[in-house]
Amino acid sequence: MGSLFSNSITLRKSVRISDEEFVQLRDFIYEKSGIFVDEKRKYLFESRFSKRLAELRLNSFSEYIKYLKFDAMKHQELTKLFELVTTNETSFYRDIPQLKAFQEKVLKEKLDEQRDAGKLELNIWSAGCSSGEEPYTLSIMLHELLRMELARWKISITAVDLSPAMIEHAQKGVYKEYAFKTTPDEIKARYFTEVEDGWKIKPPVTRLVNFRQMNLNETPSLKRIPRSHVVFCRNVIIYFDLDMKKRVVSSFYDNLLPGGYMMLGHSETLHKISSSFKPVYHPGTIAYRKED
């Protein structure tokens, strides 16, 4: 099955993908997830999928495409496929300048507005939350800002991701050292407990966050997310083509309450995607506002 054995090390020959197979698999992935794989990354398919093909005892990508489309296990395989094509890179306190501006300007403004309106409620949506570091960071920031006042607030952070494995990891809430590479030491000490296999997030932080497995490509399901004051979607739309970017951003726009904000990753912009939002410039970030 394409495996070469040398001593105890298994060297697996990667299965070659033809141009035609690449286009078929790329289009299938796009149709199911909105993720667009550029031709330049064709070699990635060969390196990432060879192990999976061997596990399934398939000899070619054509056989794998048939399996994905017609096999009785096709739904389960879709999950595996998503796990092979997505990048789940994330960490706590990722992009500190952006988060600082978010905490001090955007979040503060929203909390003040809600207090003035006598509604101590706040909804945040973290779309493409990976293993949970982003929504938990937002929960920690709310704890830091509100302290004792938090008990009087009704706060909900809805965190969704395509990958069931990432959602499971997030719900477990245990992280290795790597996840804290940009986290201030005092935050780690205050909100995490050391356990055998890493650091576990403390219950007050997890209580604000609800995780759900969800595909941003399935527009009708997105309508079930509670209306939000803020949507975080960082380092996710970068993997989509223009059409999918437009659809997803339009769903965020519809979900946001008037005056709500959308936050993107530092390399992402709304250029050519949407002109519905007002960009609000802060040192370290742009917050995209849905006008009242």
DSSP code string of 15-67: PP--HHHHHHHHHHHHHHH-B---GGGHHHHHHHHHHHHHHTT--SHHHHHHH
φ and ψ of 72, to 5 deg: -60, -25
Q: Which of 156, 215, 221, 250 binds ligand SAM (CB under 6 A)?
A: 215
Q: Which of 216, 230, 249, 256 binds ligand SAM (CB under 6 A)?
A: 216
Q: Supply the minimum distance, in Å, between the C-beta of residue 239 and ligand SAM.
A: 6
Of the candidate spans 44-52, 85-93, 117-125, 277-285, the one that interacts with ligand SAM by CB under 6 A turns out to be 85-93
Q: Supply the minimum distance, in Å, between the C-beta of residue 120 and ligand SAM.
A: 27
Nearer to ligand SAM, 15 or 132 (CB): 132
Nearer to ligand SAM, 114 or 171 (CB): 171
Q: Supply the minimum distance, in Å, between the C-beta of residue 91 and ligand SAM.
A: 7
Q: Tokens standing for 235?
A: 């380092």
Nearer to ligand SAM, 169 or 289 (CB): 169
Q: Which of 26, 188, 229, 234 binds ligand SAM (CB under 6 A)?
A: 234
Q: Supply the minimum distance, in Å, between the C-beta of residue 127 and ligand SAM.
A: 7
Site mask, ligand SAM, residues 145-164, x = CB under 6 A?
Answer: ----------------xxx-
Nearer to ligand SAM, 158 or 235 (CB): 235
Q: Which of 35, 99, 249, 286 binds ligand SAM (CB under 6 A)?
A: 35
Nearer to ligand SAM, 58 or 95 (CB): 95
166 lies in the binding site for ligand SAM (CB under 6 A): yes
For the chain, where are the E strands, in sequence order?
3-6, 9-12, 121-127, 154-161, 174-175, 192-195, 198-201, 209-213, 228-233, 256-264, 278-282, 285-289
Restricting to residues 250-289, name those near ligand SAM by CB under 6 A.
265
Question: Residues in contact with ligand SAM, total (CB under 6 A)?
Answer: 25
Contacts of 132 (CB under 8 A, 6+ apart): 159, 166, 169, 170, 171, 173, 201, 209, 211
Site mask, ligand SAM, residues 63-82, x = CB under 6 A?
Answer: --------------------
Contacts of 101 (CB under 8 A, 6+ apart): 282, 283, 284, 285, 287
> What is the helix (H) or strand (E) element at residue 69, kind and residue range?
helix 61-70
Sheet containing strand 256-264, strands side by side = 209-213, 154-161, 121-127, 228-233, 256-264, 285-289, 278-282
In whole angstroms, give the CA distance from residue 260 to residue 279: 12
Restricting to residues 86-115, name those near ligand SAM by CB under 6 A.
86-90, 94
User: HEC profile for 136-169?
Assistant: HHHHHHHHHHHHHHHHHCEEEEEEEECCHHHHHH
Q: Provide the binding-site residues for ligand SAM, judged by CB under 6 A.
A: 33-35, 86-90, 94, 128-130, 134, 161-163, 166, 215-217, 234-236, 239, 265
